[in-house]
Amino acid sequence: MVDSPAGFPFQGHGEKPGVDRFTLSEIPCIADSVALESEHVWYSVTWIIRPRIAMERGSASKLTQRTPASSPIQLTGPSGSPTISRRSGLDAAMSNLHPDQYETGQDDTGQDDTGQDEAGPRNAHPKPQGTCFMSLTSDVRAMLPDLDGYAYFQTSGFSPKLNPVVDEVVHWLKFQSRGPALPFVSRRIEELKQDIRGRVAATVNATPEEIVMTENTTIGINIVANGIDWKPGDNVLLTNHEHPGNRLTWYNLTGRYDVELRFAPMYNDLGRTLEEMDRLIDGRTRLVSVSHVSRRTGLRLPGRAVCDLAHGKDTPVLFDGAQSFGAIPIDVRALDCDFYSFCGHKYTMAPQGTGGLFIRRDRIDWLKPSWIGSHSQKTFDQEGNMDLHDEARRFEFATRSVPDQAGFGKALDIWEGLGWEAIFAGIESYTDRMKAALLEVPGLVLETPASYGDSSGIVTFHVPGLEAGPLSESLEQHEKVLVSPLEFAAESTRVSTHVFNSDEDLERLTTGIRRIQREGLDA
């Protein structure tokens, strides 16, 4: 039992007379926020539970049980053969320009597994109930570290990390450091890894068997790029908005395999973009590798339409999901993609060095492992024989940072508890307000599509005559606003939004731009 001091619904330490007392199980969303070491209870709970949240004793629902997400969905795509038979052609693709806004198919139950055993605290936490969160922005900001007064619009590069996520990493680092070979430690670590794989899979509506746990998006791209049996004269289709991770990987292949690179121009007119892709894909196109959301303008490609178009020409599709994962709904079944690579350190606000790659079941054997090692195999002998895993984890090997993966899982737990629909709606609402506010700045040109259905949490703009680098530096120095200048576009500035960004942050941004227009960059 713990007591509740005046003004707070919950506190972990101290005795105050005349104050109601609650058990953890009586208070939804408390148990998930309690730190895994008891001395951190109050320190951790304040990130989630705010003083103004009203709780009615006796009406709080008990936490429900959730079974491990070992198989969240049934495969609906083709199986057993890499042969693609989809409705095909540009007409089919054009008929489905906005199919990406689907239900994610996530399990909507909780999980109550917070007890401690000889292996240490459990990591399968109950999910907080959405009714606990009175204000999405303020509750997420309450979990943030000190940002030193900055308006942080850099999430599309590197997000700040939520305090409970950092605590999770520290806890598992301490636990693993007790001795990784200790039986109870190694057992809990293996349980943790499989639990996180299941949570990651459920987030994109995949099965755990289709997920490779990676350190970033680029590793996933490299797994696919180096797993294809390239022939001289083959080509791969990119766009002109790709991140270096989805460029340099392919630049490296051109010299090794005599592969041709083709670049489809990205237009805010998505029909025109699809027409260019249709023109560039031919019988020698081995892969379409494109960003689901453009890092340059936030333009959201119509994912299913791209897959319909490519599959109509027997060409598989790899999405770079670095800017989409955690920012917009992702359902790999509804997209019907072959591969989807993503990272945790942007919109899910998970640690650096976390991510995943979805490989559709029928593509696992089709894709040849280029780098493998210990843990890639089911069996091997001393005579050169081996049998790799039948699952996507055959592409994983050697030692990984389990504490960072634990932080990834914790971040997903938090967002699921807050409600993915609420997160996506919050990003959309704030982004729309930002676009409207920027368009009120005289002379400012918005490069991102006005319609949120065609965009995401990235907003890119330029002010004619003002270079983005000096503009960004001026905003940082005077208004403490962090934005990002874009390479290869001297005047383009990128702003990325999240649910923790406030209206005051937005006001500082627009005020700073107007100041620069009025006083110049040298002021």
Range with the lowest mean pLDDT among 302-306, 488-492, 512-516? Answer: 488-492
Say if strands 317-320 and 285-291 run parallel, antiparallel, or are unpaired. Answer: parallel
As a whole number, mean pLDDT of residues 22-42 equals: 35
Q: Is the pTM here over 0.85, yes or no?
A: no
Estimate the crossing angle of helix 163-177 against helix 402-418, to 10 degrees: 150
So what's the pLDDT on residue 390? 81
So what's the pLDDT on residue 31? 36
What is the band of 88 on the pLDDT scale with cuts at 50, 70, 90?
very low
How far is it, in rounded angstroms, from Cα 25 to Cα 23?
5
* First CA to last CA distance, the chain: 59
Does residue 356 or residue 6 have the better pLDDT?
356
Q: Which two tokens stand for residue 132?
A: 């606990």
How far is it, in rounded angstroms, from Cα 357 to Cα 340?
6
As a whole number, mean pLDDT of residues 283-291 equals: 97
Q: How far are the Cα atoms of 129, 212, 365, 386 from residue 380, in angstroms, in the given order?
A: 46, 21, 18, 4
Q: Which two tokens stand for residue 205?
A: 């509506």
Reduced to 3 states (helix: H, G, I; strand: E, B; else coil), residue 26 is helix
How far is it, in rounded angstroms, from Cα 163 to Cα 271?
43
Does residue 488 or residue 517 have the better pLDDT?
517
In this predicted structure, the answer to whether residue 84 has a pLDDT above a threshold of 70 is: no
Taking residue 480's Cβ as centre, other Cβ atoms within 10 Å add up to 16
In this predicted structure, the answer to whether residue 119 has a pLDDT above a threshold of 80 is: no
Provide the mean pLDDT of the chain: 79
So what's the pLDDT on residue 121? 37
| Angle, alpha carbons 176-180-185 (nearest 5°) | 70
In this predicted structure, the answer to whether residue 293 has a pLDDT above a threshold of 60 is: yes
Residue 144: CA count within 13 A, CB half-sphere: 22
In this predicted structure, the answer to whether residue 476 has a pLDDT above a threshold of 90 is: yes
So what's the pLDDT on residue 388? 78
In this predicted structure, the answer to whether residue 21 has a pLDDT above a threshold of 70 is: no
Residue-wise pLDDT tens digits, 419-435: 999 999 999 999 999 99
How far is it, in rounded angstroms, from Cα 112 to Cα 242?
42
In this predicted structure, the answer to whether residue 368 has a pLDDT above a threshold of 60 is: yes
| Angle, alpha carbons 182-163-482 (nearest 5°) | 130
* Secondary structure, 3-state, 310-365: HHCCCCCEEEECCCCECCECCCHHHHCCCEEEEECCCCCCCCCCCEEEEECHHHCC
So what's the pLDDT on residue 378? 67
What residues have CB less than 8 Å from 306, skipping those under 6 apart? 93, 274, 277, 288, 290, 317
Closest CA to 509 of 492, 490, 523, 495: 495
Q: Which two tokens stand for residue 346?
A: 């942007």
Q: Are 358 and 303 in contact (CB under 8 A)?
A: no
So what's the pLDDT on residue 278? 97
Residue-wise pLDDT tens digits, 249-284: 999 988 889 999 999 999 999 999 999 999 999 999
Q: How far are the Cα atoms of 111, 184, 191, 299, 414 from residue 196, in angstroms, in the given order?
A: 13, 18, 9, 30, 13
So what's the pLDDT on residue 98? 33
What is the band of 377 on the pLDDT scale with cuts at 50, 70, 90?
low
So what's the pLDDT on residue 383? 85
β strands within 19-155, DSSP E: 21-22, 116-117, 120-121, 151-152
So what's the pLDDT on residue 389? 73
Say if strands 211-214 and 355-359 run parallel, antiparallel, or are unpaired. Answer: antiparallel
Q: Are 31 and 126 in contact (CB under 8 A)?
A: yes
How far is it, in rounded angstroms, from Cα 125 to Cα 69?
13
So what's the pLDDT on residue 442? 96
